[in-house]
Amino acid sequence: MTDILRTSRLRLRVLDSRDAAFYLELVNDPAFIAHIGDRGLRTLEAARKAIEEGPVAMQRSRGHSIWLVEPIEGGAPLGLSGLIKREVLDDVDLGYAFLPQHRGRGYAFEAAQAVAQHARTLGIARLAAIVDPANAASIALLLKLGMRFDRFAELTPGQPGVNVYLMDTRQPG
């Protein structure tokens, strides 16, 4: 399991099939479903397949993806954070999601800040982030990170719209 990033408390690494139980729990968390969407994953096998076809494939093809966030000192996974290239966005998207018991401890900000800095090293000049307009905590995190509101957008027909935030990674955050 290769580390992508480290912070003072966290390590971010590529997901693999052994993370399926964690991934299944996270994507079925009511807040994840409400603010990010229902992935329709209900079994460990479906979670394994989603990991392989999503983050693992993106890491191979693009050199970045959404990564697993865990404590440096070991322990259960806390959440996800990373860089996602979505077909519906021109820019690479900074994404994150954490299990309920790990929210409110600064992990999401710490991981997102490291990811944003890493984007610069990958040559990504501008980052986007999409957020449910009702997700006040996530909006506050993006503003603290130095992102600015760009627009409200309906990225996927038939789905609720999202706020799009942008950040120039070449500017000090």
Residue-wise pLDDT tens digits, 108-127:
999 999 999 999 999 999 99
How many domains are contained in the chain? 1
Measuring CA to CA, how many Å separate 160 from each of 68, 82, 136? 27, 23, 16
Domain assignment of residue 119, given as a range: 3-168
User: Given this model, what pLDDT does residue 172 score?
Assistant: 60
Residue 173 in any domain: the answer is no
Q: Give mean pLDDT, residues 55-81.
A: 96
**Has residue 69 got a pLDDT over 90?**
yes
Residue 7 in any domain: the answer is yes
**Has residue 156 got a pLDDT over 90?**
no
User: Given this model, what pLDDT does residue 171 score?
Assistant: 72
Q: For residue 160, give the CATH number of its domain.
A: 3.40.630.30
Check: CB of residue 76 under 8 Å from CB of residue 70.
yes
CA 41 to chain centre: 17
User: Given this model, what pLDDT does residue 128 score?
Assistant: 98
**Token pair for 157:** 């027909």
Check: CB of residue 68 under 8 Å from CB of residue 126.
no
Residue 84 in any domain: the answer is yes
Residue 127 in any domain: the answer is yes
Best CA proximity match to 108, nearest among 96, 92, 99: 96
